[in-house]
A = this chain, B = another copy of it.
Amino acid sequence: MTHRKEAISLAALKLFSTEGFASTSTKKIAEYAGVSEALIFRHYGNKKGLLNSLVHKIEERFISSISLIVAEKDPKKVIGKTLTEAFESMQKEPEYWNLNYQLKKELKGDLFWKMDLIFTILLKEFKNLYVDEPEYEARFLVLFLEGMGNELQNNTLKNSTELLSFVMKKYDL
């Protein structure tokens, strides 16, 4: 990938995630990336193609981060690590999560939704722990995570690290 193609990708990630896909013009992307507008179309075909390439990157990145977690054996450790991994990812790479949320609205289901994978992992481990209603326990935690992701995007969540610690303690993880 050439220097400029990457610049376009980065600009698009930034702008799509903050302004939304529809509200981001290709001209704005080009200016932000410091390239000509036409270059976007040379490299990605069209605006949707640029988006798709970002989505692919997001998915690959996330899947590889998850694969590290499931190597663990102890159910509690897996659950704990899933929460912390997701949380840290949300903090370190907010653009990717932002984009993921944005696209969920705009693409309506055409998108790989990270939370589905997290749910699957949690469900399995809650079953291993023989809790009463593993589906609801898992879903409950996932929805909390999803809400947290929501808030982290807007920087409206104070003491998020402490909040996570609180949850970890609550679940004895």
Task: List the interface of chain A (C-beta within 8 A of B).
Answer: 20, 22-23, 101-102, 104-106, 108-109, 113, 133, 135-136, 139-140, 142-148, 150-151, 153-154, 156-157, 159, 162-163, 166-167, 170
Asked whether, in the complex, the Cβ of A154 is within 8 Å of the Cβ of B20, the reply is no
Asked whether, in the complex, the Cβ of A136 is within 8 Å of the Cβ of B166, the reply is yes
Could you say which residues of chain B place their CB within 8 Å of the CB of A113?
156
- The contact sample of 25 A-B pairs, CB cut-off 8 A, is A20-B105, A20-B106, A22-B22, A22-B23, A23-B106, A105-B105, A105-B153, A108-B154, A109-B154, A109-B156, A113-B156, A133-B166, A135-B159, A136-B163, A136-B167, A140-B166, A142-B147, A143-B143, A143-B144, A143-B147, A144-B144, A146-B146, A146-B147, A146-B150, A147-B148
